[in-house]
């Protein structure tokens, strides 16, 4: 037998009236369950609320014994109600007692009811309680009834989230969704940031749930979908994504979902039940999220993010919010929270107000991380689900040292972190005191420490860190943050400011390294399957010499009268160095002819970041004035692990025999040919790895400015000959159970070397 349904719209209208009545929360809840039971012709309707101790408590019931209310409890996972909360999935059963999870609770008197329909009370994909209807007769509830119950559960979720049910229970409090959470992640940039959440893509909170005019809501949804589809098409047509890459794939997925008939139909059906268009989007998204969260397939759980983003965009359109302009109304202690972002997007924020960055994705060597490090922003990556858990304005602490994020921290955590900040400030003070001290090891070996830079904002760090110079100036960053190709005069002006700021200290300008994860919004290049190994850096420079030559001219203009150091990225074959040098010489001849003041000297160096160069080292050292090892790329290509792919980026350890052996061969070849060798990949800034590099023969390292202090503190305590002995032993027995990293750490510990 099917019970006639008086209609979810009637029920929602009644619900709205109940919500407006000046009555206590308990009376309101009692009235709600009574209305649901009457409307759905159910003999029982019960609301269970999840308490903060993880127990589901019966908060209201029509039909079950009165004394059961606030006395009956179930653990999550226990009984049918517990199962619904655990799985965040509805149960529709004609005969509840024959279900394996059924738990008999004598206090309720429910044994006479056979059919059972229960739905989770969901908010942001999390179950805050369970809403149940029951009938004596064996019956299967219709989809319409199921949807009506899910809709009402949303209203209850808002009541719980707003704290309306606080104080009703005699023994516990409802789960506080604003409770503190600690999210483990990976420290990408050292430092501690205490502040307030700024969601990079702000989420919209829907508070207006119930509507009278269904036709109007449907039109609103249709219009919003049209404008959403147009904006996705627009984004796809834009230059920055037109050439492909991960960003494009995500947008392609958006386009597919935006046209997904099932999605649209489900939202339309939710509107028919009496919801506003925005509430319908959220309802359907709650379901999708609950469904996809249970997926173990990484591809499908990744799609959840896409659906979340898309639903959020749709909500913004519906609620007339723009894309949430960056930097506007930014609090002075902003901690930016994002799934991921491009380097240029981070630079859009007012640096003086950003205290930290939290990313769900990202990798330690991706570009946004490198920029965050350049800006000295404490950063934690791979903080799972943080975008979902955080709300704008929430208090948050980012600990780049331990890689943890504390959302809505308790008072003790805040206190502990204030202490930690104080302690770190003292340590920074000690590093500052090291600034004037020469970087010489205990055995008297001088080491040159330089900084990596790429933007004007980096320049003050040169003096603050006490570095000897700029070992790597990534010129592409200027191009990446510009909206159009920087003119020669603009390029020259930046290079001039860099040389001025360095006041005589050496600066190594790397020519444009575009491609891979470094894309220029205005430069259309072909869609490449594998851009990191594609037409990038010097390959592009030699094939299309216009851009390369303009850059060389800008460098010559800037460096008149001083030494110019130019470094070529992604050299794969020594002949490319010969070609590059020819182009440079040609520009120099042209320059002389026009009577400009030439640089005092031009030194041309190669980056060693493609493994093929390891077998051309003698020739390379002969024709290069210097070389610099780019371990970020060298490691990526030697181990065939994409540096930007978080699933594999950390799979292998750079402090392993094959990689260290390769690095040693470069240092040795440089020494034999008397060609200076530097190392400028991210590992140079990690004290333990930097120690290993000194053991391999490196005497010049270039790193993020904030690493200079810790690396110098390490080397002041280091005795290189002793390390060489230990490292030689570790490399000779690469199969040691704890690995080379552990062996080096033990050496540092027993020698009192801070790493
Ligand atoms: C490297 O590859 O190690 C390097 C320093 O260059 P980038 O990180 O800019 O690719
Ligand atoms: Mg590189």
Q: Whose CA is nearest to atom 4 of ligand 1?
A: 630
Q: Is 563 or 594 the better-scoring residue by pLDDT?
A: 563
- Report the pLDDT averaged over residues 112-126: 87
Query: Per-residue b/e over 586-616, b at no fewer than 16 CB within 10 Å?
Result: ebbeebeeeeeebbeebbbbbbbbbbebbeb
Pocket of ligand 1 from Cβ distances under 6 Å: 472, 474, 513, 609, 630-633, 680-681
CA of 460 to the centre of ligand 2 (A): 24
3-state secondary structure 24-57: CHHHHHHHHHHHHHHHCCCCEEEEEEEECCCEEE
- Asked if residues 452 and 704 have their Cβ atoms less than 8 Å apart, the reply is yes
pLDDT beyond 80 at 520: no
3-state secondary structure 359-395: ECCCCCCCHHHHHHHHCCCCEEECCCCHHHHCCCCCE
Q: Is 348 or 71 the better-scoring residue by pLDDT?
A: 71
pLDDT in the model for residue 517:
62
pLDDT beyond 90 at 215: yes
Q: Whose CA is nearest to atom 6 of ligand 1?
A: 630
pLDDT in the model for residue 250:
62
CA of 357 to the centre of ligand 1 (A): 21
Q: How far is CA 749 from the centre of its chain?
A: 33
Q: Whose CA is nearest to atom 9 of ligand 1?
A: 474
Residue among 470, 609, 611, 629 to mutate when testing ligand 1 (max atoms within 8 A of CB): 609
CA of 223 to the centre of ligand 1 (A): 46
Q: Is 591 or 344 the better-scoring residue by pLDDT?
A: 591
- Report the pLDDT averaged over residues 18-35: 92
CA of 490 to the centre of ligand 1 (A): 24
Reported in sequence order, the residue ranges of 593-699 that DSSP labels E, i.e. its strands, are 601-608, 626-629, 677-679
Annotated active-site residue 45? The verdict is: no
Q: How far is CA 158 from CA 33, 84, 174, 728, in A?
A: 16, 19, 13, 64
pLDDT in the model for residue 412:
82
pLDDT in the model for residue 546:
93
Domains and CATH numbers, the chain: 6-178 (3.30.450.40), 181-202+326-425 (3.50.30.10), 214-318 (1.10.274.10), 434-750 (3.20.20.60)
Residue among 510, 630, 704 to mutate when testing ligand 1 (max atoms within 8 A of CB): 630
| Residues paired with residue 603 on neighbouring β-strands, in sequence order | 565
| Residues paired with residue 508 on neighbouring β-strands, in sequence order | 565
* Ligand 1 closest atom vs CA 629: 3
CA of 608 to the centre of ligand 1 (A): 10
* Ligand 1 closest atom vs CA 513: 9
CA of 363 to the centre of ligand 2 (A): 15
| Residues paired with residue 62 on neighbouring β-strands, in sequence order | 45
pLDDT beyond 70 at 238: no
* Ligand 1 closest atom vs CA 609: 2
Q: Any idea what the Cα angle at residue 95 is, between residues 94 and 96, rounded to 5°?
A: 110
pLDDT in the model for residue 4:
42
pLDDT in the model for residue 109:
84
Cα–Cα dist 376/706, whole Å: 7
The string of pLDDT tens digits covering residues 279-331 is 999 888 887 877 776 666 666 666 676 777 788 889 988 988 654 434 457 89
Residue among 533, 633, 654, 683 to mutate when testing ligand 1 (max atoms within 8 A of CB): 633
**CA nearest 323: which of 309, 337, 335, 336?**
309
Residues of the chain above pLDDT 70, percent = 92
User: Helix count (H) and strand count (E) of the chain?
Assistant: 27, 22
CA of 537 to the centre of ligand 2 (A): 9
Tell me the average pLDDT of the chain.
88
pLDDT beyond 50 at 3: no
- Report the pLDDT averaged over residues 739-748: 95
Could you tell me if residue 472 is left (phi over 0), alpha (psi between -120 and 50 degrees) or otherwise beta?
A: beta
- Report the pLDDT averaged over residues 236-251: 56
> Are β-strands 448-453 and 470-474 bridged in parallel, bridged antiparallel, or unpaired?
parallel
* Ligand 1 closest atom vs CA 569: 6
In this structure, what token pair is assigned to residue 441?
């090891």
- Length of the chain, in residues: 755
Q: What are the phi and psi torsion angles at 105 (to 5°)?
A: -115, 100
pLDDT in the model for residue 115:
95
* Ligand 1 closest atom vs CA 472: 5
pTM (predicted TM-score): 0.63
- Asked if residues 471 and 451 have their Cβ atoms less than 8 Å apart, the reply is yes
Q: How far apart are the first and last CA of the chain?
A: 73
Tell me the pLDDT band of 658, cut-offs 50, 70 and 90. Answer: very high
- Torsion of Cα atoms, 371 then 377 then 382 then 383, to 10°: -150
CA of 632 to the centre of ligand 1 (A): 5
CA of 715 to the centre of ligand 2 (A): 26
pLDDT beyond 90 at 640: yes
Closest ligand to the CA of 634:
1
The string of pLDDT tens digits covering residues 161-212 is 888 888 888 887 777 666 788 899 999 998 999 999 999 987 777 878 888 8
Cα–Cα dist 585/566, whole Å: 12
63-77, 116-130, 137-151, 332-346 — most confident range: 63-77
- Of 467-471, 483-487, 517-521, where does mean pLDDT reach its minimum? 517-521
Q: Is 442 or 430 the better-scoring residue by pLDDT?
A: 442
Q: How far is CA 383 from the centre of its chain?
A: 7
Write the CB contacts of 292 (distance below 8 Å, at least 6 apart in sequence): 300, 301, 303, 304, 307
Please report how many Cα atoms fall inside a 13 Å half-sphere around the Cα of residue 209, on the Cβ side. Answer: 21
CB pairs under 8 A, 24+ apart, for 416-424? 417/192, 417/194, 418/194, 420/192, 421/192, 421/194, 424/191, 424/192
Tell me the pLDDT band of 248, cut-offs 50, 70 and 90. Answer: low
In this structure, what token pair is assigned to residue 68?
């059961």
The string of pLDDT tens digits covering residues 344-397 is 678 778 888 999 999 988 777 777 887 788 788 999 999 988 887 888 889 999
* Ligand 1 closest atom vs CA 365: 8
Closest ligand to the CA of 476:
1
Q: Which of 45, 114, 189, 680 is catalytic?
A: 680
* Ligand 1 closest atom vs CA 516: 10
Closest ligand to the CA of 632:
1
- Torsion of Cα atoms, 748 then 749 then 753 then 755, to 10°: 80
- Report the pLDDT averaged over residues 241-257: 63
Closest ligand to the CA of 367:
1
Cα–Cα dist 551/555, whole Å: 6
Residue among 475, 632, 642 to mutate when testing ligand 1 (max atoms within 8 A of CB): 632
Alpha helices in 356-512 (DSSP H): 367-374, 386-389, 411-434, 459-465, 476-481, 488-502
Annotated active-site residue 590? The verdict is: no
pLDDT in the model for residue 593:
83
Q: Is 422 or 747 the better-scoring residue by pLDDT?
A: 747
- Report the pLDDT averaged over residues 650-663: 93
Q: Whose CA is nearest to atom 3 of ligand 1?
A: 630
- Report the pLDDT averaged over residues 567-590: 97
The string of pLDDT tens digits covering residues 440-466 is 999 999 999 999 998 777 788 888 888
Please report how many Cα atoms fall inside a 13 Å half-sphere around the Cα of residue 199, on the Cβ side. Answer: 20
Q: Which of 114, 200, 305, 367 is catalytic?
A: 367
Q: Whose CA is nearest to atom 8 of ligand 1?
A: 632
Q: Any idea what the Cα angle at residue 268 is, between residues 265 and 272, rounded to 5°?
A: 135
pLDDT beyond 80 at 247: no
CB atoms within 10 A of CB 746: 13
């Amino acid at each position: 037998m099917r019970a006639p349904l008086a209609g979810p719209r009637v029920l929602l209208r009644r619900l709205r009236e109940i919500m407006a009545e000046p009555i206590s929360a308990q009376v309101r809840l009692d009235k709600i369950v009574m209305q649901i039971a009457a409307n759905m012709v159910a003999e029982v309707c019960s609301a269970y609320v999840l308490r903060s101790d993880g127990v589901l408590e019966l908060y209201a019931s029509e039909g079950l014994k009165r004394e059961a209310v606030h006395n009956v409890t179930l653990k999550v996972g226990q009984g049918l109600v517990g199962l619904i909360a655990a799985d965040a999935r509805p149960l529709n059963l004609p005969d509840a007692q024959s279900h394996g999870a059924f738990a008999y609770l004598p206090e309720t008197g429910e044994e006479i009811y056979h059919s059972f329909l229960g739905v989770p009370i969901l908010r942001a994909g999390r179950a805050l309680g369970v809403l149940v209807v029951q009938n004596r007769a064996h019956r299967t509830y219709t989809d319409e009834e199921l949807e009506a119950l899910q809709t009402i559960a949303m209203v209850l979720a808002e009541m719980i989230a707003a704290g309306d049910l606080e104080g009703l229970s005699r023994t516990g409090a409802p789960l506080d969704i604003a409770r503190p959470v600690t999210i483990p992640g990976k420290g990408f940039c050292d430092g501690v940031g205490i502040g307030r959440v700024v969601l990079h893509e702000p989420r919209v909170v829907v508070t207006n749930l119930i509507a009278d005019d269904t036709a109007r809501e449907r039109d609103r949804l249709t219009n919003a979908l049209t404008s959403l589809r147009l904006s996705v098409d627009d984004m796809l047509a834009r230059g920055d994504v037109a050439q492909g890459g991960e960003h494009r794939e995500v947008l392609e997925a958006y386009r597919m979902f935006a046209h997904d008939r099932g999605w649209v139909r489900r939202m339309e059906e939710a509107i028919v039940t009496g919801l506003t268009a925005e509430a319908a989007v959220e309802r359907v998204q709650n379901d999708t999220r609950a469904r996809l969260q249970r997926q173990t397939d990484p591809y499908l759980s990744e799609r959840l993010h896409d659906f979340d983003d898309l639903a959020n965009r749709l909500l913004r359109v519906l609620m007339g919010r723009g894309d949430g302009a960056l930097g506007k109304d930014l609090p002075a202690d902003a901690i930016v929270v994002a799934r991921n972002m491009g380097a240029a997007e981070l630079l859009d924020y007012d640096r003086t107000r950003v205290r930290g960055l939290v990313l769900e994705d990202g990798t330690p060597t991706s570009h946004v991380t490198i920029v965050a490090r350049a800006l000295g922003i404490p950063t934690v990556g791979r903080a799972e689900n943080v975008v979902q858990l955080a709300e704008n304005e929430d208090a948050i602490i980012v600990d780049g040292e331990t890689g943890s994020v504390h959302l809505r921290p308790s008072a003790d955590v805040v206190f502990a972190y204030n202490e930690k900040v104080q302690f770190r400030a003292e340590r920074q003070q000690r590093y500052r005191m090291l600034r004037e001290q020469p970087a010489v090891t205990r055995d008297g070996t001088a080491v040159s420490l330089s900084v990596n830079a790429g933007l004007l904002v980096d320049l003050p760090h040169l003096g603050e860190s006490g570095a000897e110079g700029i070992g790597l100036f990534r010129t592409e960053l200027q191009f990446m943050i510009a909206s159009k190709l920087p003119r020669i005069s603009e390029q020259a002006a930046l290079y001039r400011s860099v040389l001025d700021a360095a006041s005589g200290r050496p600066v190594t300008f790397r020519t444009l390294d575009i491609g891979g994860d470094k894309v220029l919004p205005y430069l259309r290049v072909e869609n490449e399957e594998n851009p990191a190994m594609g037409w990038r850096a010097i390959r592009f420079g030699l094939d299309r010499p216009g851009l390369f030559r303009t850059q060389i001219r800008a460098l010559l203009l800037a460096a008149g009268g001083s030494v110019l150091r130019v470094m070529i990225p992604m050299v794969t074959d020594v002949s490319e160095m010969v070609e590059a040098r020819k182009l440079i010489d040609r520009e120099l001849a042209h320059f002389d002819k026009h009577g400009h003041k030439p640089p005092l000297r031009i030194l041309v160096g190669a980056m060693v970041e493609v493994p093929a160069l390891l077998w051309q080292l003698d020739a390379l050292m002969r024709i290069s004035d210097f070389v610099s090892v780019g371990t970020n790329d060298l490691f990526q290509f030697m181990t065939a692990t994409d540096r930007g792919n978080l699933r594999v980026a950390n799979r292998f350890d750079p402090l392993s025999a094959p990689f260290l052996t390769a690095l040693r061969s470069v240092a040795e070849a440089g020494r034999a040919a008397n060609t200076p060798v530097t190392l400028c990949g991210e590992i140079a800034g990690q004290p333990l790895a930097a120690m290993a590099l000194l053991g391999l023969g490196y005497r010049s390292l270039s790193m993020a400015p904030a690493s200079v202090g810790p690396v110098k503190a390490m080397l002041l305590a280091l005795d290189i000959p002793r390390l060489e002995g230990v490292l030689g032993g570790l490399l000779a027995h690469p199969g040691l159970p704890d690995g080379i990293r552990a062996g080096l750490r033990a050496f540092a510990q027993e020698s009192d070397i801070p790493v």
